Amino acid sequence: MRFKVLKGKLHWVRVTSKDLNYEGSIVIDGDLLKEVGILPYESVLVINVETGGRFETYAIPGGKGEVKVNGGTARLAEVGDRLIVMAFAWMDVEEAQSFKPKVLVLGEGNEVILRK
């Protein structure tokens, strides 16, 4: 049996911009993605802390501090909203029991304030 387990999380990233006319996705600071192990174009679950809304999209690496919500999902977040971005991996029971996800808590300017 395989289990879907949290592999990486960016907690409280702030939306810096949005573009309704882009094809889709969320652009996130590439250094942050790399640190939590989220690959370019990997599927991510995004939760808007301000509204409680959720959406699934894919991550694209961006510039320093950048978090840009694109396409139709741009209607689900406003500049300044806090988001939680999560990626998951499928694991067997032995791996899942010992696995520890990489988690970053971010400050107002999308700087890392805590590594868990």
Range 55-60 average pLDDT: 97
Report the predicted TM-score, pTM, of the whole model to 2 decimal places.
0.96
Determine which helix (DSSP H) or strand (DSSP E) holds 33, and give its type and residue range: helix 30-36
User: Which residue numbers are catalytic?
Assistant: 25, 58
Residue 20's contacts (CB-CB under 8 Å, 6 or more residues apart) are 70, 71, 72, 74, 75
What domain range is 83 assigned to?
2-99
User: In the prediction, which pLDDT does 23 show?
Assistant: 80
3-state secondary structure of 79: coil
pLDDT digits (tens, 9 = 90+) for 90-99: 999 999 999 9
Residue 24 has pLDDT above 90, yes or no: no
Give the chain's domain count: 1
Q: Is residue 111 part of a domain?
A: no
User: In the prediction, which pLDDT does 115 show?
Assistant: 97
User: In the prediction, which pLDDT does 25 show?
Assistant: 92
Q: Is residue 30 part of a domain?
A: yes
CATH code, domain carrying 90: 2.40.40.20
